[in-house]
Structure 1
């Protein structure tokens, strides 16, 4: 089924993508507000723990693997059957692969001893799937999907390394599951990518409507 390139269709679709992104981001930051409880900071110091995320590594390994493998099914489930679903799955895998490579590279670069931080590996490696979600079925081209995953992996890893500790130490806001770094930041990137690809769609790329 060809993509409808009529402006009367493309403009509402672009606005819908942005609205969905805003709803998701709203939910993320509302969750932040709920978790911003001053008492957890004192409890953390008393027990000498940094975060619950460090205590369940071995439970998270299989989950990360399954999510990485099946993430293309999330992004392609709502696409039209045929080429759109194939593009969604392919773009998602390419973006995920790029986010894995950049996560591993950035994690080792910012570590003092060049080691990998498993919090980064278990979370930021999935950022590419989040970032490409809104435009997965679009004509991103392989290099476009790789670029999306590249930036999602970088910013997600840096978020875990620097933003989360800053929020905890300065603002006393605890991101218990890395929601902002895995879904918030890539969600912002994805909303931009989705809006741009929808706005620049043309009959030369998607064919005539109908």
Structure 2
């Protein structure tokens, strides 16, 4: 144990210092200047604060589901977010530079950077307790780069609006994390540190509530029609929350609520409606999406955990597949259907070739996002398991003691 602690001391701080030095060096060598032309700063900053609270505080506590991994869940989440935001700004600057354009760091670019790190946070949930800090930092850098590449492909070749390319963050983060988790060894059957306790579940629900409250801000901050996006997101979240309690009682053996169901399903509506939040003209559509999202989350949890995960030897620690992945797929399909129906009504179904063109490009964008996430996630998983990155032994999974000091170790732990 002590030797392994020294090895992390010789790697994590120096890796973080190296990355921060490179970011500072890029700034000294001509990083785009800070923009002061963002006209609606006073109205946009409160929403930006909501998104930051959601990503750092909400997701940080949302991941505190394991009984002996609370320090790491919140601490590593904060480290990855603040490091990832800087890397995201730099990645966007690099892409703009390659296009031969001049970029300025303003509220919009900073907002996109914070939102992009949500993909990293979601992926972290799939390998929660398995990856060490060095692996998580490398994963953050690689995933953000590939997510920006995926966004560029969707925006440049498939003509997807910039707002929608950013909303692919749930889809990309979930399936990147699943592919990544498949490359980590399974914990031994007798290891019980990957279970929760009432206290850890309570903290996780606290994070879930914060994510739920701030989700309308996340879905609307880049939207053109912000009021419509907020309204539709809130209605979808409300219906999914009500459905979560109903379905949890109906599907449990003793008719009681299960906290695991509530944590996952109350957020499903916000994921499913994220793609079409600003384009839904009738609130009942958003409410139906929230209901369906909650249904596939709870039913998917049963099917995926009992059938798919054992067959693929995949352990999705925080259930990101049925919390974010499946609702995102539902939202993607709903977006294509709504877009085709809306365009068909406008053209009176006379231009079927145009409708097919629209559907083809929308479906292509979603398939490209999932494919890129799965392929790059598998590649990243192989990279993270090389000896240089000091993979944690399976007996040390889900344990804070491997990374944090515990002066009170002998009392109450």
Alpha-carbon deviations, 1:134-166, whole Å to 9, x = none?
A: 000013411101100010000001122331233
Q: CA RMSD in A?
A: 2.8
CA displacement at 1:201 relative to structure 2: 3.2
Q: What residue in structure 1 maps to residue 235 of structure 2?
A: 94
Is 2:339 aligned against 1:193?
Answer: no
CA displacement at 1:31 relative to structure 2: 1.8
Q: Which one has a bigger Cα radius of gyration?
A: 2
Q: What residue in structure 2 maps to residue 208 of structure 1?
A: none
CA displacement at 1:123 relative to structure 2: 1.5
CA distance in 2, matches of 1:107, 1:47: 27
CA distance in 2, matches of 1:19, 1:13: 10
Alpha-carbon deviations, 1:99-158, whole Å to 9, x = none?
A: 112111111111110011101101111000000000000134111011000100000011
- Relative to structure 1, the CA distance from residue 27 to residue 89 in structure 2 (aligned partners, 3 Å threshold; closer, same or farther) is closer
May I ask how many residue pairs the two structures share in their alignment?
Answer: 187
Q: What residue in structure 1 maps to residue 174 of structure 2?
A: 28
Q: What residue in structure 1 maps to residue 123 of structure 2?
A: none
Higher relative contact order structure (alpha carbons within 8 Å, sequence separation ≥ 6): 1
Conserved? CA contact 2:181–2:314, under 8 Å: yes
What secondary structure is seen at the aligned counterpart in 1 of 2:291? helix
What are structure 1's unaligned runs of at least 5 residues? 1-10, 206-210
Q: Note the 1:37-48 alignment, pairs <5 A.
A: 37=183, 39-42=185-188, 45-48=189-192
CA distance in 2, matches of 1:140, 1:119: 33
Is 2:327 aligned against 1:183?
Answer: no
- Relative to structure 1, the CA distance from residue 152 to residue 100 in structure 2 (aligned partners, 3 Å threshold; closer, same or farther) is same
CA distance in 1, matches of 2:232, 2:329: 18
CA distance in 1, matches of 2:253, 2:306: 16
More helix by share: 1
CA displacement at 1:20 relative to structure 2: 6.5
CA distance in 2, matches of 1:38, 1:66: 30
TM-score of the aligned structures, taking structure 2 as reference length: 0.41
Q: What residue in structure 1 maps to residue 140 of structure 2?
A: none
Within the candidate set 41, 65, 71, 2:209 is matched to: 65
- Relative to structure 1, the CA distance from residue 197 to residue 123 in structure 2 (aligned partners, 3 Å threshold; closer, same or farther) is same
CA distance in 2, matches of 1:169, 1:34: 16
Q: Note the 1:90-129 alignment, pairs <5 A.
A: 90-129=231-270
CA displacement at 1:38 relative to structure 2: 6.7
Is 2:217 aligned against 1:76?
Answer: no
CA distance in 1, matches of 2:326, 2:307: 16
What are structure 2's unaligned runs of at least 5 residues? 1-157, 347-413
Conserved? CA contact 1:140–1:197, under 8 Å: no
Within the candidate set 124, 143, 154, 2:284 is matched to: 143
TM-score of the aligned structures, taking structure 1 as reference length: 0.77
CA displacement at 1:197 relative to structure 2: 2.5
Alpha-carbon deviations, 1:1-57, whole Å to 9, x = none?
A: xxxxxxxxxx9448x958964x75454333223212574242xx12245x45x3431
CA displacement at 1:200 relative to structure 2: 3.3
Q: What residue in structure 2 maps to residue 134 of structure 1?
A: 275
